[in-house]
Amino acid sequence: MMTDPSQPNVRYVHSEARLVLGQKRNMLNAMAQGEYILCFDDDDYYPPDKISWQVAQMQASNALFSGSDQIYIWYSHLDKIYITHPFGPRHALNGTFGYHRNLLKKNRYDDDATKAEETGFLKGFTTPVHQIDPKRAILCISHSSNTYDKDFIMAAPRRWI
């Protein structure tokens, strides 16, 4: 484990072993030391105030879990941004997740999940979700190396920019 001294609350954890996505997320949750846990994807963009803003949203509503059921996606090869359709009030996409550590007493990822891990963590989308503004949540970047193909979003007429 490496710690950047200029960022005392950020830890980089390297695993020699290749882990399945769900197993990796559960391992990181077990290692987390803070009261709130937020999920980030290393190839997407997040607003500079995402952590403080999302935690404040959760505190103001006394929510254990927050996220967005919609995300904006930038298609780098087209230089266009689209928004996904709403998936529903108890749905959120993992890159938008923010939760209080108490949620982990009842929620965990399916260790065998390789994609679409939200279903297991949110217990088949029965966990209450404090929906946050998708503009404040994430700008997902679509590129040729994505784990999940996002091109189907372009078929829907919801172009933003």
CATH number at residue 30: 3.90.550.10
On the question of pLDDT at 5 being above 70, the answer is no
On whether residue 26 sits in a domain, the answer given is yes
Burial class (CB in 10 A: 0-12, 13-18, 19+), 12: exposed
Question: Is 160 within a domain?
Answer: no
pTM for this entry: 0.85
Phi-psi domain of 62 (left: phi exceeds 0; alpha: psi -120 through 50; beta: other)? left
**Res. 155 pLDDT band, cuts 50 70 90:** low
pLDDT confidence band for 76 (50 / 70 / 90)? confident
Span 62-73, mean pLDDT? Answer: 97
- How many structural domains does the chain have? 1
Share of the chain above pLDDT 70, in %: 82
The per-residue b/e assignment along 49-74, b for 16 or more CB within 10 angstroms, e otherwise, is: ebbebbbebbeeeebbbbbbbbbbbb
**Is 25 part of a structural domain of the chain?**
yes
Mean pLDDT of all residues in 116-136: 97
Res 86 pLDDT > 70: yes
The span from the CA of 66 to the CA of 99, in Å, is 6
User: Across residues 138-154, what is the average pLDDT?
Assistant: 69
In a domain, 115, yes or no: yes
The confidence band for 131, taking pLDDT boundaries of 50, 70 and 90, is very high
**Which domain range does residue 84 map to?**
2-155
**Looking at the domain assignment, is residue 80 inside a domain?**
yes
* pLDDT (0 to 100) of residue 93: 95
Q: How does residue 1 score in pLDDT terms, banded at 50, 70 and 90?
A: very low
Q: Is residue 161 part of a domain?
A: no
